[in-house]
Amino acid sequence: MIVVGKESFCDFHTIQAAIDSLEQQYLTEPEVIYILAGVYPEEVRIYRSHLTIIGIGHVEIVMNRYAKERDETGRSIETFATPTLFLGGSHLMLDNLVIVNSAGQGADIGQAVAVYGHCDEAIFRNCTLRGHQDTLFTGPLPPAPRERLEFGGIPLREHHAHYRQLYQNCYIEGTIDFIFGGATAYFEDCEIRSLRHYENQSGYITAASTPEGQTYGYVFKRCFLTAEQNDISPVFLGRPWREYAKTVFVDCKMGTHIHPLGWDNWNNSANEQTVCYQEYYRVKDIGAMTQQRVPWADCLETLDGTYCKELVFAGTEFWK
């Protein structure tokens, strides 16, 4: 057991120092880090697997890197160099942490990631993720970027056969594409809050890049979709960062800020033939919803066991 905090009896005073000490030991046995209440202004990079991190009281990890920030050569650092917390291993659990990218939003800010989850068999419980554009990235990256030669950002030391992540009782906020990436990620009993865009543009909750052939992408089960203010511009449930995006909402409660059409094709009608966008509701809600939504997404009746964790995470029991 390792304790991080400001007190003299703590093993380390910064989270990264504790992580570095573990990674230098090259041990594979499970380890637990307890973080005492406080604000920790640092970028945290974790490559280690078999790790549990538990916050005691209010534990806030905060940094303010952003995509339009310039490096020493004068070039923008881009999205994947901005995360406050990076996770690169597997068999991870984070409990009771507040992770913030405080860069804000604006044309001179761009994307600013709070959590970069390049990880497999990872569990987030009772965590708060705060940011604006691109708050949470769930790896893996797509095969190649479309706008430039490479994604850049934090070096990846390990690539996983699967990227499976569970978010339970978490709070996640943002404006545009604030949950994005290619993982099989399951959000259970979470609040997903849309913030006002600085130019009052429409918001987008998800931007999945599910790899072709992957059975599951994003699953939201019994989540609550809320808005910072009732009069924000309409928010779409998702748009495809890549053409095989998969996103499903099951028995979720949605505020009036959600656009009646539900989904956006990201200015490419061809995506309508390849994406899998679905919503599941109790019988009484289906009719009205179907009439409003885009015709290339499904509104279906919830059945017992619809998108349960046993199904989505078949072959592994990390979620238990």
State the CB neighbour count (10 A cutoff) for residue 52.
16
Which CA distances in Å does 147 have to 69, 78, 233? 17, 11, 27
Which CA distances in Å does 21 have to 9, 17, 24? 17, 6, 5
* Residue among 71, 177, 231, 251 flagged as catalytic: 177
Closest among 291, 199, 277, 275 to 237, alpha carbons compared: 277
Is 177 known to be catalytic?
A: yes
- DSSP letters, 34-103, are EE-SEEE-S-EEE--SSEEEEE-SSEEEEE---TT-B-TTS-B--GGG--SEEE-SEEEEEES-EEEETT
Structure letter (DSSP) for residue 106 = S
Closest among 69, 12, 79 to 42, alpha carbons compared: 12
Structure letter (DSSP) for residue 270 = G
Q: 293-307 b/e with 16+ CB inside 10 Å = b?
A: beeebebeebeeebb
Do 238 and 277 contact (CB within 8 A), yes or no? yes
Q: For residues 240 and 277, what is the distance between their CA atoms, to the nearest angstrom?
A: 10
Residues 6 or more apart whose CB falls under 8 angstroms from that of 24 comprise none
Q: For residues 104 and 114, what is the distance between their CA atoms, to the nearest angstrom?
A: 11
Active site positions, annotated: 177
